[in-house]
Amino acid sequence: MIGLLRNFSPAWLAILCLTLIGTVTLPSALAHETPVASLDIREGRNGVQWLEWTYYSARSDKPPTVQWPDHCTEDYPRLECGEAGLVGLVTMPQIGDQYSAAVVKVKPREGRMHTYTLTGANRSLMLTVDGKLPWHSIAASYIPLGIEHIMLGIDHLLFVLGLIVLVSTTPMLIKTITSFTVAHSITLAAATLGWVGVPEGPVNAAIALSIVVLAVEVLRHREGKPSLSAKLPWLIAFGFGLLHGFGFAGAMNNVGLDPESLPIALLFFNIGVEIGQLAFVFLILGLNHAHRRLEAIPPVWSATTAIYAVGGIASYWFLVRTAALAI
């Protein structure tokens, strides 16, 4: 088995693995899911809070369980906290497992609503009288959410991997990945802040099509045929990066934050996406470096097989996602 693996370039092996994962984990060919639960809390009289859950997850048919402060007692949809009110530590232990995140919206009887987000890396929330959160608490919630979103996005990772395969020099790779980053950051911000509205279904279908186009360009380049993507990979990365940014925005749009919290949450979410993307790029580059040190020679057919596998699964995604638009 070890000898067999040594015969594959890590990039091609990674492509085959991601393609297999995409086939198994996305049987419906829909975009990757970021299940988010939302809890609305409205303050009533005499320390009574009224609760309302909105949730959906393929991992669970129930809302997340909540561990309230010791002085609070829940009898859904009623929460009684007495004279002290809803202050103290609130924990959702299932976040990160059954749900990627939970949004908690607290509306006092007087004053504005406060919005908080819990993630697997930050499952607890300290509610205070003034309702304010320090910036590092927001970072602790949204950076992990961004990392999870990119790591679960097999289609996004396949596109990035295609760019790595297409580019032959380190300076051009840096320029290409930077171009992709700038582009999807622009559309992620525009869509999340409500400046541009694009339907999620067509975006997901177009993202799958972008992978098909990139696979064709990689094959043309390997066959020595003229390829705009090989000559100007940063331009292709920027163009399709704008498209992928709308796909990233799906997770932020599902969160439904208030306008005051949105800009800083968007910043940290985007930082999380970039951390995950860079970690993936460095992983592939590290594997390639180790592979060269081993002086392993991959079989000629491995590269072509991997690219055809990418084009095949991406074509399947595109057809099924397009068909879903008519339903």
Instruction: For residues 207 and 210, give the distance between their C-alpha atoms in angstroms, rounded to a whole number.
Output: 5
pLDDT at 277 over 70: yes
Structural domain includes residue 145? no
88: left (phi over 0), alpha (psi -120 to 50) or beta: left
pLDDT at 211 over 50: yes
Instruction: For residues 208 and 322, give the distance between their C-alpha atoms in angstroms, rounded to a whole number.
Output: 10
Q: What does each C-alpha distance from 160 to 145, 153, 234 come to in angstroms?
A: 19, 11, 12
Domain co-membership, 199 together with 320: yes
Structural domain includes residue 275? yes
Average pLDDT over residues 182-204: 85
Domain co-membership, 130 together with 160: no
Stronger pLDDT, 25 or 129, i.e. the higher one: 129
Q: In this structure, which long-range contacts are made by residues 229-234, counting pairs with CB atoms below 8 Å and at least 24 apart in sequence? A: 229/166, 230/166, 233/163, 233/166, 233/167, 233/172, 233/176, 234/172, 234/175, 234/176, 234/178, 234/179
Q: How many residues does the chain have?
A: 327
Domain co-membership, 61 together with 75: yes
pLDDT at 301 over 70: no
pLDDT tier at 17, thresholds 50, 70, 90: low
Stronger pLDDT, 170 or 239, i.e. the higher one: 239
Q: Which residues contact 191 (CB under 8 A, 6 or more apart)?
A: 197, 198, 245, 246, 249, 252, 253
Instruction: Give the single-character DSSP code of 122.
Output: B
Structural domain includes residue 146? no
Domain co-membership, 168 together with 281: yes
How many C-beta atoms surround the C-beta of residue 168 within 10 A?
10
Question: Given this model, what pLDDT does residue 238 score?
Answer: 92
Structural domain includes residue 48? yes
Q: What does each C-alpha distance from 223 to 85, 172, 258, 283 come to in angstroms?
A: 69, 20, 51, 27
Mean residue pLDDT of the chain comes to 78
Return the minimum-mean-pLDDT range out of 9-23, 62-76, 140-154, 195-209: 9-23
Average pLDDT over residues 140-149: 82
Q: Which residues contact 254 (CB under 8 A, 6 or more apart)?
A: 34, 36
Per cent of the chain over pLDDT 70 is: 80
pLDDT tier at 295, thresholds 50, 70, 90: low
Structural domain includes residue 7? yes
Stronger pLDDT, 260 or 12, i.e. the higher one: 260
Number of domains in the chain: 2
Q: Which tens digits make up the pLDDT trace of 218-244?
A: 888 877 777 777 788 888 889 998 998
Domain co-membership, 122 together with 172: no
Domain co-membership, 44 together with 69: yes
Structural domain includes residue 144? no
Return the minimum-mean-pLDDT range out of 5-19, 118-132, 153-167: 5-19
Q: Which helix (H) or strand (E) holds 285?
A: helix 262-293
pLDDT tier at 2, thresholds 50, 70, 90: very low
pLDDT at 25 over 50: no
Question: Given this model, what pLDDT does residue 67 score?
Answer: 92
Q: Which helix (H) or strand (E) holds 51?
A: strand 48-54
Structure token pair of residue 105: 């919206």
Average pLDDT over residues 67-88: 88
Domain co-membership, 209 together with 259: yes
How many C-beta atoms surround the C-beta of residue 71 within 10 A?
15
Which range in 147-161, 185-199, 269-283 is most confidently predicted, on average pLDDT?
269-283
Domain co-membership, 105 together with 69: yes
Stronger pLDDT, 87 or 259, i.e. the higher one: 87
Closest Cα partner for 117 from 311, 306, 254, 318?
254
Structural domain includes residue 141? no
Domain co-membership, 171 together with 259: yes
Domain co-membership, 99 together with 193: no
pLDDT at 3 over 50: no
Stronger pLDDT, 136 or 251, i.e. the higher one: 136
Which range in 65-79, 114-128, 143-157 is most confidently predicted, on average pLDDT?
65-79
Question: Given this model, what pLDDT does residue 26 score?
Answer: 46
pLDDT at 69 over 70: yes
Domain co-membership, 95 together with 223: no
DSSP letters spanning 168-191: -SHHHHHHHHHHHHHHHHHHHHHH
Closest Cα partner for 64 from 28, 30, 104, 95?
95
Domain that holds residue 110: 36-134
pLDDT tier at 33, thresholds 50, 70, 90: low
Structural domain includes residue 224? yes
Domain co-membership, 175 together with 265: yes
